[in-house]
Each structure stands twice: as structure tokens, then as C-alpha cells.
A and B are shown apart, each in its own frame.
Chain A
């Protein structure tokens, strides 16, 4: 039914009061005026017929307005809820789990045991006091860790007997720089190639988040996309067919 096909109320000021027909307290004169009006007004007649059908349907139980029964199909809500949860879980895991290394994953069998700097992974974006962690080496008395900015203007070093070291707060690394890490063992020959190396960048929380999302595991991205698809399916409803 297009607007051109819709009936118009012939006396809208009176038609507005049509609902008062139901009210027993309505003045008899107004009631009669409304009934007279409906005799000539197709719009109000239709309105009354629809109202009567709805009321009759509700009374005889063929129609229902019960919130519990008529609140709609349950599955769109399940889809929306499940999809939202899947998206949230995927994004949270991406932010919390260590990012993947951008280096090729195809490590040769004889290199799989090769000691490496485990965190930060190469080119990872981290905060100003990152923890550097590496593969423990056998027969090593201590490690000497050096962090140097690309332009060598910033340099920090520390010593530890554990296979990890956190940059202390009093030596916070300025944000927005790229740093190289060199972990040397004592004695030096225990570490291959003169030491373990990696590089990282420092950045704000949002930059860290973006980096982690970019490096998110494909499986987690799959979870997010699947969740998004489910949520969209939950919100999406069939478009009406024109002219039907």
C-alpha cells in the first residue's frame, strides 16, 4: 500500500479523537459525532476495523501480544550474543597473547632448537619498560643485555643470571624509537654468533594494540570474523519485497 493508496482522514481534528469511542465515559454527543464521522471517513472506518480485528483476535486467542510468547524468535538473540562473545574473545586474546613473529615460520628442523630472544619478537611494538626474555643457555654464568636505539643515541645495559630482564622504570626507554637488543653470555662462547639478537619499537598503548591486532594469529582473526558474521546475521532481517 503506497501513500497514494492510503486513505486520508476527512476531518483530522475529529479523527484524532476516534480512540475515545472505546472509553465508556466519552460524552454521548462526541460519541455520536465520531460514529457519524466514521460513516463518511474511509480512513477512520478502516482504523476501527483494524482495531476491532486486533481486539477480537486478542480476545479469542488467535492473536497474541504476550511479551513472553511474542517476543520474537530466539535465534537472532543467540546469534547476536554468540557473535559478540566470539568477537570479544578473539580481540581480547589477540591483545593478551604474545604476537607472532613476522619472520618466516618455516624453521628448519636443525634450527628449531637454536636459542633465540623469545620476547620481544622481532619488530614488536612494546612499552617503555619491556621485558626481554630468551632461551636459557647451558653452562652460562650470567647474561649481559644491551639495548641500543637505532641512532645509538640511547643505550642501556644490564646483567642478570636469569634468562630474562626487565628494563627498570628509572631507565624507561623513550617512545617512538626502534631498538636493537643484544644478549651476550658469560662465557661468551655459549651464545651462538656472539650473542642473541632482536629488535623492537616502543610505542603508546594504542600503537601496541594496533600492532598486536595486525600480528594476531590467523585463527583468532577467524574467530573475530566468524563472530562478526554471526552478529550481522542476528541483526540482519529479510528486506521486504516491494510490490508483494
Chain B
């Protein structure tokens, strides 16, 4: 087995991918070996070297990367970047999980845990999620809101929308829809990061919640 390399060239990586796809024996190990060092470096940077989940995160990222290669036989991008991003996302999951699920004593919670109905906390989360989505929608431009309302509330056929908007193809309608939803997601992320101007996650509603009445 080769030693993990920090300097594996992209040409070598792509050759490794091709070998892996051809089913060459050992290609999988070689690729994982090439990915190990950058993944480890990023995971340690993200979680800290003494974090108990470092090895799990690395292992998860390696396996997920190989699965990705198996599933997508057209991938020709930067595999190291892909693997590192998978690892970083995994670290985010772990950190978020730790934040939300601090050590709990499960004894005595058996009845509660076996209860399949949603808890008050889950209902609050759902409500909060709903409020945030509505606020994100409220921030969209009138044209976006009209488009989404037409598509999903009034169920206007896409081709009719194409004519209404004066667009050449139905694909352009979907493109616009995608842009509008992306803006909503960006507003949502701004709300979650507390960067939104004039909107507060908690506190008095200045705009938007009036529509629920």
C-alpha cells in the first residue's frame, strides 16, 4: 500500500477514478489512500484533533466519496475537493448533533421515547420552521411571489405561465422558479444566521405573519 500522499496530482487521481470504474483490484484502496490525508487534515481542523468523532468522520467521508463515485459514473470534477466537502459537511452534522443532543440520561424517558406522537418541542420546531419559511417567502419580489402562487396555489399550467411571462420555453419557467426558491433559501439562511435586515427570528413580527390571520 502506498503511503498517504499530500501531493497526489489530479492526473493521478483521475487515473485512479478510471481504474476504480474499470474495477481494477486495489484501485479503491489507492484512491482512499490518496484522499485520506486531505480529509484528515480538514476534519481535524474542523473538529479539533482530540475530538472523539474524528476517525468516524474520516471513515464516513471516505465511504461516502467512494459511494458517490460508484453512483455517478460521469463525475469528472475535483475528487479531493468533493471528499473534503463531504467530510466538512459530516463534521457540521456531528457538531450540530452535539449541540442539540447534549448528554441525556435516557433512563426514565422510556415512556416518552416510545410515544410516537410529536412532542411539544417538535411542534414548536415545526411552527418556528413554518414562520421562518413564511418570512423568507414574504421577502421575495412580487414577481417571484406571483410565479410561485400561480404554480402552486392556482395550479396554473407551466405552459400557460410561459405565455404569461412571455418566455420562449417551459424550461425558462422552471429556471425562474428555481431562482425564486433559491432566493427564498438565501433569505432563510440569512434569517438563521441573524443577518437579515429588519427581521428577527424571535420577537415581534414586523412583516409577514399578518397573512396567517
Using CB atoms and an 8 Å cutoff, list the residues of chain A in contact with chain B. 1-11, 13-14, 18-20, 22-23, 25, 33, 36-37, 39-43, 47, 50-51, 53-55, 57-59, 61-67, 69-73, 76, 237-244
- Taken residue by residue from 174 to 213, chain B's Cβ proximity to chain A (1 for < 8 Å, 0 otherwise) reads as 1101110110110011011111111111111111101100
B22 an interface residue at 8 Å Cβ cutoff?
no
Shortest Cβ distance from B57 into chain A, in angstroms?
13
- Taken residue by residue from 20 to 55, chain B's Cβ proximity to chain A (1 for < 8 Å, 0 otherwise) reads as 000000000000000000000000000000000000
Contacting pair A57 B206 (CB below 8 A): no
CA distance A70 to B210 in the complex (A): 7
- Tell which of A43, A58, A70 touches B152, judged by Cβ atoms closer than 8 Å: A58
- Tell which of B129, B202, B208 touches A72, judged by Cβ atoms closer than 8 Å: B208
Contacting pair B201 A241 (CB below 8 A): yes
Contacts of A240 in B (CB 8 A): 191, 194-196, 199-201
Contacts of A25 in B (CB 8 A): 170-171
Contacts of A76 in B (CB 8 A): 206-207
Contacting pair A57 B194 (CB below 8 A): no
Given A55-B152, A70-B138: A237 and B198 interface contact (C-beta under 8 Å):
yes
Identify the closest chain B residue to A59 (Cβ): B152
Number of A-B contacts (CB under 8 A): 173
For chain B, the bracket of interface size reads 35 or more
Stretch of B4-12, B63-71, B116-124 that contacts chain A: B63-71
- Among B67, B96, B171, B210, max chain A CB count under 10 A is at B210
Contacts of A6 in B (CB 8 A): 92, 189, 193
CA distance A240 to B202 in the complex (A): 8
Could you pull out 28 A-B pairs where Cβ atoms are within 8 angstroms? A3-B193, A5-B92, A19-B178, A20-B178, A23-B171, A23-B174, A36-B68, A50-B185, A51-B185, A54-B137, A54-B184, A57-B130, A58-B153, A64-B137, A70-B134, A70-B208, A71-B142, A72-B207, A73-B206, A73-B207, A73-B210, A76-B207, A237-B197, A237-B206, A237-B207, A240-B191, A240-B196, A244-B202
